[in-house]
Amino acid sequence: MRAPRVLVVDDEVAVVKVLSAILEQEGMLCAHAGGAAQALERLKEVPYDLVITDLRMPGEDGVALMRQVVASWPDVPVILLTAHATVAVAVDALRAGAADFLTKPFDRDEVLFAVRKALASRLETPAREQPNDLLASREGPMREVVELVKRAAPTTSAILLRGETGTGKSVLAREIHRQSKVSRGPFVTVFCGALPEQLIESELFGHEKGAFTGAAQRKPGRVELAQGGTLFFDEIGELSPGTQVKLLRLLQERTFERLGGTEVLKTDARFIAATHRDLEAAVKSGAFREDLYYRLNVVPVSLPPLRDRPGELRQLVEHFIAEQARVGERGKLSIAPDALHALETAAWPGNVRQLENFIERLVVLSNGPILTLRDVERELARQPNVSPPGQKGSADEGTLDARRGETEKQALQEALTRSANNRTLAARLLGVSRRTLYNKLQDHGLV
């Protein structure tokens, strides 16, 4: 997997140098633009994975640039950088499509945290305004899910999404927001598995100026930014016990305080949470609070794994091919019947996310308007945890390769948890290079 490309847009050379140094130390590739016009030209020339732009610049400001990026490159997240952060600015930025915002002077850990979140969000299928066609018409196991969402979305009840990694919980959360009464408000995500302990309170509840070293200005947290919209806790099962206590108070009383502040603030946000963990077992072991579990589990929605939705794979493949053809400007692409059959008869332990990543790689590395069986077999051979066609299902679950793959996946997940989703640290814990870690995460559908 190639290193992420980041475009830093700021007319202050010193800011650009500091930001670029921070990101390049983490293996990212950085380019610089001095203003909105130059940034748009660079975006036309090179595919970037993320844009970080200053708010106040000569010519068009950062918000105007952000709107153009969102309109022309909807899969490229934008982080707004400002020395004048207010709740109004932050909410307006999120509603306009910003992935996050950072305040000057910025903290290294906070920069990396925001960047990793934005890059992670790029892997999710956005559903900001339009209905997600993957959820529009369903038969079999997903039909019940879609009907349940239609009934629950217009209410204000908390919803808990359950399902294996990669089954589409984030996509469904956005669809619930779209169908809700607060659809015109912001959709704010908290990536619970990526929250460093030292930044949890500040990230969730915000902080006052001087609350800690480096807190040069007041900054609203994710809860405050979700006012009038939806607050989505992704992988809620990863929260530490201390944070669970704070979250319980938020759900019970709908009040919170900024770090270092005394003012009691209220929230009217709608709460959605998601997890791949067995929360009932976590409650029994004491790892997850029982009272918080019941607060979240008002409307439980379980997403079935892809192996239980065989009739949907064809629709998913065709959707992802069309999407990758659009993004890559490849024109009309199709897949040969025997190639499609090979995908339908293979196993996908990483579920929909793994299939989507596979199709992206298949489209990028294939030539011609038709994806052939040879193309599919070549890419399947590069994924050690995808069973060859005709070998999916329970028949191969007890084989040595299957057990080795499951053990490897568990080791990766444990390393990510121990490192608070810091992939550089996770690679060190596992004794592998960053490149090897990224490849393994992709193989197991964990990216």
Calculate mean pLDDT across residues 240-244: 86
Give the start-end residues of each E strand in 201-275.
Answer: 206-207, 219-220, 230-234, 255-256, 265-266, 270-275
Residue 234 pairs in a beta bridge with 191, 274
Helix (H, G, I), strand (E, B) or coil at 387: coil
pLDDT band with cut points at 50, 70 and 90 for residue 380: confident
381 half-sphere exposure, CB direction, 13 A CA radius: 6
Phi, psi of 266 (to 5 degrees): -115, 155
Peptide bond into 369 cis (omega under 30): no
Distance CA 375, CA 365 (A): 8
Calculate mean pLDDT across residues 195-218: 75
State which H helix or E strand residue 176 sits in. helix 169-179
Per-position DSSP letters for 283-332, written without gaps between them: HHHTSS-HHHHHHHTTEEEEPPPGGG-GGGHHHHHHHHHHHHHHHTT--S
Of the candidates 196, 36, 186, the residue with the CA atom closest to the CA atom of residue 100: 186
pLDDT band with cut points at 50, 70 and 90 for residue 85: low
Cα 135 to Cα 24, 35, 311, 313, distances in angstroms? 39, 40, 14, 13
Per-position DSSP letters for 65-107, written without gaps between them: HHHHHHHH-TTS-EEEEESS--HHHHHHHHHHT-SEEEESSPP
Of the candidates 26, 110, 48, 30, the residue with the CA atom closest to the CA atom of residue 434: 26
Q: What is the pLDDT of residue 254?
A: 93
Q: Could you tell me how far CA 170 lies from the centroid of its own chain? A: 7
Give residue-wise pLDDT tens across range 35-59: 999 999 888 887 888 999 988 888 8
Per-position DSSP letters for 410-442, written without gaps between them: HHHHHHHHHTTT-HHHHHHHHT--HHHHHHHHH
Q: Are 187 and 232 in contact (CB under 8 A)?
A: yes
Question: Considering the chain, what is the average pLDDT of its residues?
Answer: 81
Q: What is the pLDDT of residue 270?
A: 94
Give residue-wise pLDDT tens across range 102-140: 877 777 877 888 888 788 766 443 434 445 555 654 566
First to last CA, the chain: 11
Distance CA 166, CA 353 (A): 5
Residue 219 reports pLDDT greater than 90: no
Helix (H, G, I), strand (E, B) or coil at 131: coil
Q: What is the pLDDT of residue 124?
A: 45
Distance CA 274, CA 163 (A): 8
Q: What is the pLDDT of residue 396?
A: 47
Calculate mean pLDDT across residues 199-204: 80
Name all domains of the chain by residue range, CATH numbers in brackets: 5-110 (3.40.50.2300), 141-304 (3.40.50.300), 307-381 (1.10.8.60), 398-443 (1.10.10)
Q: What is the pLDDT of residue 394?
A: 43
Share of the chain above pLDDT 90, in %: 24
State which H helix or E strand residue 21 sits in. helix 13-24
* Between residues 26 and 405, the one the model is more confident about: 26
pLDDT band with cut points at 50, 70 and 90 for residue 30: very high
Give residue-wise pLDDT tens across range 332-342: 889 999 999 99
Q: Are 86 and 95 in contact (CB under 8 A)?
A: no
Q: What is the pLDDT of residue 356?
A: 86
Residue 233 pairs in a beta bridge with 190, 273
